Amino acid sequence: MTDNNPLLQEFNTPHQTPPFTQIQTAHYIPAFTAAMEEGRAEIKAIIDNPATPDFNNTIEALEKAGNKLSRISSIFFNLNSAETSEAIQEVAREVSPLLSEYGNDIWLNEALFARVKAVYEQKDKLTLSTEQATLLDNTYKGFVRRGALLNAEDKQKYRNITAELSKLSLQFGENLLAETNDYKLHITDEADLAGLPEAVREAAQQLAESEGKEGWMFSLHAPSMLPFMQYADQRELREQLFRASTKRGNQDNQNDNKANILRQAELRLAKAQLLGYRSHADYVLEERMAQSADKVNAFLNELFEKSFPFAQEDVAQVAAFAKQQGLEGELQRWDFAYYSEKLKTSLFDLNEEMTKPYFQLEKVKAGIFDLTNKLWGLSYKLNKDIPVYHPDVFAYEVFNRDEQVISVLYLDFHPRKGKQGGAWMTSFRDQHVENGQNIIPHVSVVCNFTPPTASRPSLLTFNEVTTFLHEFGHALHGMLSEVTYESLSGTSVYRDFVELPSQIMENWALEKEWLQDVAVHYQTGETMPEDLIQKIIAADNFQSGYLTVRQLSFGFNDMAWHSITEPVATDAISFEKAAMAKTELFPEVAGSCFSTAFGHIFDGGYAAGYYGYKWAEVLDADAYALFKEKGIFDQATAESFREHILSKGGTRHPMDLYVAFRGAEPSVEALLLRSGLSK
């Protein structure tokens, strides 16, 4: 399976993009095996080199080693998230421990580390560029942080821990996807649809038909569940759907994640302490802008203290409104979105059904393309010759002002059974320079937007519009990268910095000048009326206190799991309850567990890093203030942001990059002011 294996050949496709249409699941294991053999041979050549270790023959050579394996891994694991199957999941289970072992064989290799250390110890005498110096530092620290200084016995412990963690993370994701896909709310009585807009009903009918059922069906995927929670008059059915969502991974079945997360937390702690750290958070945060668990907790607590009174007011306002509307008893979690939407309509004469007809996906996409053209001169051309991994995926060539192709961009918009929930940006290849030639990135944006129906195109909620902008900001970080080394390219930056390019893009969703170009009624072709645009802008900070505390609760939960210095002695539900207790604004819901479905930290690389969303909001609020000052389409400001932030990847410390753009370090006050949380 190696001679004709497309994964092991040169990709004879436009821009050497992955040949998805030629790849079969059976190709993966032989390709991984061959690529690991090739990578090991490349490592052996570095170790056996008789020349004195130097930057070129050791650090650069190590950077390039395993290139083929990296390509295959990116293709496979991206598909395991966006278009998986039982067969692909089986390959993932088989190959993940092999990849863990492969990585450990490199990081724990004493002879290889000796060469890296020899170069590192003479770094002050070397004439290196800033990027080369960063690569050298990262390489040396990478070895140390992955166990290179451990004794033989502890190195074996490290291997065992990392191998088990890779399996657990994979299993967590499989369990969560299964739990999400397994539940459907099937409605056969039309009276139970009271309150739901016609478009939501049509989508539910379409889902039922796809499952071979009569009536209407709602799933736990956001485009199906969220409008039901917002509009369905039937309180009992809202409760049913809510409970199903919040029980995912906590049903004592084959997909239960409680033991999984307890074990992951224990193993992460054991790994950190093996390496000399107090906790997993301290291990992770050493390589973040925040630097320590104490600093993160202080940051979260500062925001919490300033926002919690606003959150209490927000919930009390909805509770009072619900009572006026006839709600008996306490406001429950499954009531909040419903009455909140009605309150928003009452206060601002605004709801999502008023705005959705103006946010046709194709028009929003064109508006985002146009925005990046105004700011950075980018243009996009659909290329149907570029293979895609599903018919719903579109592949674009991205051009710079000088009409050179600088990237390939894949867009994948709608939910599928084989796709994880949420939205994300990823890449199949990162930008870098090879033999003096710029190698362009292959970037992908994957979402779960409201799908089209038989009578309507895909019409986005305002939240989906901001999500699209957010993920496109990540994509820009990847597409506009201009670095030499792939490991420093694009989004390869500190986790609490990576959200700056994404979150700053969300700001344009509240700019009249941009909305007037994007928001066009899908039937009449009329631009969104001025008064509706003003209502969107006016409602921006509606319940910002509640939303801030909700986000902070996730950060507190994450930090609790990863700040432990002893294994958790209680059950997962009790641990979570204690971690999030001070942020609670509603009565407890028995059977709910957020952590068992918290993919960001147990299957997504955000362990001890979820605070980064709020951290980066401070950066983006401060940074966007400059656009507001200079003009939201000001090309000089945009070019400065590109030069100092988007193009540099991880070549310099993020605070240095930020100060180079902004002229000073950021202040939390800009975020509080923008969010309406300053009194």
- Enter the tokens of residue 438: 């710029």
List, for residues 641-676, the tens digit of each pLDDT value: 999 999 999 999 999 999 999 999 998 888 888 888
Taking the model in full, what pTM does it have?
Answer: 0.94
- The stretch 510-521 carries a mean pLDDT of 96
Q: Give the domain CATH number at 289.
A: 1.10.1370.10
- Could you tell me if residue 159 is inside a domain? no
- The stretch 184-212 carries a mean pLDDT of 96
Q: Alpha helices of 452-593 — where are they, by DSSP H?
A: 462-479, 499-505, 512-518, 530-538, 544-563, 572-580
- If one counts every other C-beta atom within 10 angstroms of the C-beta of residue 394, the result is 17
Q: Give the domain CATH number at 10.
A: 1.20.1050.40
Angstrom CA distances, 558 to 48, 489, 502, 576, 612, stand at 44, 27, 21, 9, 11
For residue 679, the model assigns a pLDDT of 60
Burial of 103 (0-12, 13-18, 19+ CB in 10 A): middle
Do residues 416 and 455 share a domain? yes
| 463 contacts: CB under 8 Å, gap ≥ 6 | none
Do residues 223 and 312 share a domain? no
Do residues 618 and 490 share a domain? yes
- Could you tell me if residue 510 is inside a domain? yes
Do residues 498 and 637 share a domain? yes
Tell me, yes or no, if 471 is annotated catalytic.
yes
Angstrom CA distances, 264 to 273, 412, 594, stand at 14, 31, 16
For residue 675, the model assigns a pLDDT of 87
Backbone angles phi, psi at 278, to 5 degrees: -70, -40
- Could you tell me if residue 208 is inside a domain? yes
Handedness of CA 124, 127, 131, 135 (dihedral sign): negative
Do residues 237 and 340 share a domain? no
577 pLDDT exceeds 80?
yes
- The stretch 31-53 carries a mean pLDDT of 98
Which of 471, 486, 576, 617 does the annotation list as catalytic? 471
Domain count, the chain: 4
Beta-strand pair 424-429/405-412: unpaired
- Enter the tokens of residue 647: 């193009």
| 668 contacts: CB under 8 Å, gap ≥ 6 | 302, 303, 618
- Could you tell me if residue 157 is inside a domain? no
Q: Give the domain CATH number at 416.
A: 1.10.1370.40
Task: Judge whether 489 and 441 are in contact, CB under 8 Å.
Answer: yes
- Nearest one of 492, 600, 87 to 95, comparing CA atoms: 87
For residue 374, the model assigns a pLDDT of 98
Which of 246, 267, 294 is a domain's end point?
A: 246
Let me know the angle formed at the C-alpha of 330 by 325 and 336, rounded to the nearest 5 degrees. Answer: 65
Cα gap 305→621, rounded to integer Å? 19
- The stretch 138-144 carries a mean pLDDT of 98
Cα gap 651→662, rounded to integer Å? 18
| 558 contacts: CB under 8 Å, gap ≥ 6 | 598, 600, 601, 606, 607, 608, 609, 610, 611
List, for residues 373-414, the tens digit of each pLDDT value: 999 999 999 999 999 999 999 999 999 999 999 999 999 999
Task: Judge whether 31 and 58 are in contact, CB under 8 Å.
Answer: no
Which secondary-structure segment (H or E) carries 375?
helix 361-376
Do residues 324 and 454 share a domain? no
Confidence label for 461 from pLDDT (cuts 50, 70 and 90)? very high
Do residues 300 and 372 share a domain? no
Task: Judge whether 82 and 420 are in contact, CB under 8 Å.
Answer: yes
N residues, the chain: 679
- The stretch 253-257 carries a mean pLDDT of 98
Cα gap 499→471, rounded to integer Å? 9
Do residues 269 and 342 share a domain? yes
Do residues 450 and 472 share a domain? yes
Handedness of CA 300, 301, 306, 307 (dihedral sign): positive
Backbone angles phi, psi at 626, to 5 degrees: -70, -40
Do residues 86 and 230 share a domain? no
Beta-strand pair 424-429/432-434: unpaired
Instruction: Count CA atoms closer than 13 A to 329's CA, side-chain side.
Output: 6
- Could you tell me if residue 165 is inside a domain? no
SS3 80: helix
Which of 558, 591, 610 is a domain's end point?
A: 610
Task: Judge whether 87 and 25 are in contact, CB under 8 Å.
Answer: yes
678 pLDDT exceeds 90?
no
Cα gap 576→578, rounded to integer Å? 5
**What pairs with residue 444 in β-bridges?**
410, 426
- DSSP structure string for 597-644: G-HHHHSSS-TTTTTHHHHHHHHHHHHHHHHHHH-TT-HHHHHHHIII
Do residues 191 and 313 share a domain? no
The percent of residues above 70 in pLDDT, for the chain, comes to 100
2 pLDDT exceeds 80?
no
- Enter the tokens of residue 514: 């941009």
Cα 249 to chain centroid, rounded: 20
State the chain's mean pLDDT as an integer.
Answer: 96
Host domain of residue 315? 258-350+544-610
- Could you tell me if residue 93 is inside a domain? yes
Task: Judge whether 421 and 448 are in contact, CB under 8 Å.
Answer: yes
Do residues 11 and 132 share a domain? yes
List, for residues 314-354, the tens digit of each pLDDT value: 999 999 999 999 999 999 999 999 999 999 999 999 998 89
Which of 149, 174, 209 is a domain's end point?
A: 149
List, for residues 81-93, the tens digit of each pLDDT value: 999 999 999 999 9
For residue 1, the model assigns a pLDDT of 65
Cα gap 42→32, rounded to integer Å? 15
- Could you tell me if residue 173 is inside a domain? no
For residue 671, the model assigns a pLDDT of 85
- Could you tell me if residue 154 is inside a domain? no
Handedness of CA 654, 660, 662, 665 (dihedral sign): positive
